[in-house]
Amino acid sequence: MKNLQLNPYKITWAIITPIKGKFTQKDFSLLKKTMPSLCGNDYLNERCAHFPTKERAIEVLAKSKASKEYKVVFITDKQFGMTNNSESLLKVATTLQINSQTTI
């Protein structure tokens, strides 16, 4: 059996936040169809999903549908582990990661 080694610098978390307004339950349901790991925080108005690689995250997000536009910032699993439940996940993102954000 092959020894599986997880790399916290390759596992990617996509932080999804609405460009305008609040994250809707309808969009949560639509996005959950392509991202079963989608979870989040109503208080902070953001959702997140994890993927084995950033490339896989981009591939899945390209297939995702929502009723309005959302911005997506990618962080590593290592960064995700440094987050606090009461703070936005974007707090651990680097300037490069924030500047490299995409929309869905």
Q: Which residue has the tokens 């995702």?
A: 64
CA 47 to chain centre: 6
Assigned domain for 6 exists: no
Residues 59, 20, 18, CA angle at the centre, nearest 5°?
35
Its sign, for the CA torsion 91, 94, 97, 99, is positive
By residue count, the chain amounts to 104
Domain contains 42: yes
Q: Please indicate, yes or no, if residue 89 is contained in any of the structural domains.
A: yes
Per-residue pLDDT of the chain (104 residues; tens, 9 = 90+): 566 677 888 999 999 999 999 988 999 999 999 999 999 878 889 999 999 999 999 999 999 989 999 999 999 999 999 998 888 999 999 999 999 999 99
Say if 1 falls within a structural domain.
no
From the list 2, 1, 5, 15, the residue with the least C-alpha distance to 79 is: 15
Q: Has residue 25 been placed in a domain? A: yes
Q: Containing domain of residue 62, as a range?
A: 12-103
Q: Check if the beta carbon of residue 101 is closer than 8 Å to that of residue 26.
A: no
pLDDT at 47: 95
Tell me, what DSSP letter sits at residue 10? T
Eight-class DSSP state of 89: G
Can you give the pLDDT at residue 43? 85
pLDDT for the residue numbered 78: 95
